[in-house]
Amino acid sequence: VTDGTLPELRGWSDLDEEAARRHVLAGGSIFVSGLPGTAKSTTVRSWVQELDKRVFLCGPTHVSSRNLTVGDNQGMTLQRFWNRYLKHGSVPQGAVIVIDECSQVGTRTWHQLAPLAGYAQLIVLGNPEDQLGSVADSWKDVPLEAQDISESQLLRSLCGYTRLRLTIGRRSCQALWNLYSSFSTIGCNYCLPLSEMVAMVPKRPAYGDVNRNKPRPAKGHHRNGGGPEAPRREASGDLI
């Protein structure tokens, strides 16, 4: 604020997926939210491949930044983005800054990013309603309690008050998706009372456990086809 007036307080303007794609390709900033498995990263990477601009792919950790890598464009941590580009004024006007796992971004970093509003195009993604917040967050050496930032005025202004909410599970195990989405606090299709969630857990097979219903080998049966008295194979030049 430079003229003494307060910024406009506005809520989110929600778009569907195709409208969000058109908005991003036209240069608009956006916040992409959704539970794990709703294809947030996949959706954003597909947009990045269509953009003919300088794109910075960032995350608060090395893991989250690597997850955003698109082709030869390698992700970087937000700390590196600040040290190498932002604090030196090396971010071109109109460039695209993608930020993953926004719930883990600290207050100090958000204020470093704040001047980019209206100068660069920001694509922020995450699930701050349910994910862990920033570790040991503070402001001016005062500790801060982790909070859901999805409705913060700073995030809304950085993202142009525009949001895409992804709510459909797109991972291969639908049963697993149904289970963990039932724990969500954001009102997805599978919200259940706690007692029903607890009763559900033993009924769900472990992810990838495709052998649970297969008969077990008889006692003493060896996988190499021989019984307990089968001779040992002598080591040879072949790899076993």
pLDDT digits (tens, 9 = 90+) for 107-119: 888 888 998 988 9
Between 15 and 128, where is the model more confident? 15
Task: Answer yes or no: are the C-beta atoms of 65 and 57 closer than 8 Å.
Answer: yes
pTM: predicted TM-score of the whole model, two decimal places:
0.71
Share the mean pLDDT of the chain: 78
Answer whether residue 214 shows pLDDT above 80. Answer: no
Tell me the C-alpha distance between 158 and 170, whole Å: 28
Tokens of 39: 């294809």
Closest to 9 measured CA to CA, from 163, 164, 154: 154
Tell me the C-alpha distance between 165 and 122, whole Å: 16
**Residue 42: which pLDDT band, with cuts at 50, 70 and 90?**
very high
**Residue 211: which pLDDT band, with cuts at 50, 70 and 90?**
very low
Answer whether residue 52 shows pLDDT above 50. Answer: yes
Answer whether residue 208 shows pLDDT above 80. Answer: no
Between 80 and 215, where is the model more confident? 80
Task: Answer yes or no: are the C-beta atoms of 59 and 75 closer than 8 Å.
Answer: yes
Tell me the C-alpha distance between 237 and 240, whole Å: 9
Reported as a single tens digit per residue, the pLDDT across 8-32 is 678 899 999 999 999 999 999 999 9
Query: Average pLDDT, stretch 186-213?
Result: 55
**Residue 65: which pLDDT band, with cuts at 50, 70 and 90?**
confident
